[in-house]
Amino acid sequence: MSDAKQTPPSGSDSERDADHPERIYAFADAIEAERERSTDSEAGPAPRPETWVSFEIDREIYALPVEPVKEVLRVTEITRVPHAPNPVRGVTQLRGRVIPVVDLALRLGLPERQQDQGNRILVVGSKGRLIGLLVDRVHQVMQLDRNRVQAPPDDVMTSRSDFVTAVYHLADRLILMLDVDRVLVIREAQDVA
The nearer residue to other proteins, 45 or 96, going by C-beta atoms, is 96
Backbone angles phi, psi at 165, to 5 degrees: -95, -20
Q: What beta strand segments (E) does 85-136 contain?
A: 88-94, 97-103, 120-126, 129-135
Task: Decide if residue 18 touches other proteins (CB under 8 A).
Answer: no
**5 counts as binding other proteins under rule CB under 8 A:** no
Q: Kindly state the smallest distance separating residue 37's Cβ from other proteins, in Å.
A: 25
Candidates 151, 161, 135, 159; CA nearest to 53 is: 135
Q: In 3-state terms, what secondary structure has residue 62? A: strand
Kindly provide the b/e burial profile for residues 73-106, where b requires at least 16 CB atoms within 10 angstroms of the residue's own CB: bebeebeeeeebbebbbbbbeeeeeebbbbbbbb
Interface with other proteins, residue 64, by CB under 8 A: no
Question: What is d(CA 177, CA 167) in angstroms, rounded to the nearest whole number?
Answer: 6
Q: Does 171 bind other proteins (CB under 8 A)?
A: no
Task: Compute the distance between CA of residue 102 and CA of residue 3 in angstroms, rounded to an integer.
Answer: 26
Q: Does 85 bind other proteins (CB under 8 A)?
A: yes
Among 3, 77, 112, 155, binds other proteins (CB under 8 A): 77
Distance CA 167, CA 100 (A): 27
Residues 107-166 interacting with other proteins (rule: CB under 8 A): 127-131
- Closer of 19 and 77 to other proteins (Cβ): 77
Q: H-type helices in the chain, by residue range?
A: 11-19, 21-40, 104-107, 180-184
In the bound complex, what is the minimum distance in angstroms from residue 142's beta carbon to other proteins?
27
Closest CA to 154 of 167, 144, 145, 169: 167
Identity of the residue, 51 or 92, whose beta carbon is nearer to other proteins in the bound complex: 92
Q: Rule CB under 8 A: is residue 88 a binding residue for other proteins?
A: yes
Question: Does residue 102 bind other proteins (CB under 8 A)?
Answer: yes
33 lines the binding site for other proteins (CB under 8 A):
no
Q: Is 9 in the site for other proteins (CB under 8 A)?
A: no
Query: Among 100, 105, 138, 167, which residue interacts with other proteins (rule: CB under 8 A)?
Result: 100
Instruction: Give the residues lining the site for other proteins (CB under 8 A).
Output: 77, 79-85, 88, 91-93, 96-100, 102, 127-131, 184-186, 188, 190, 192
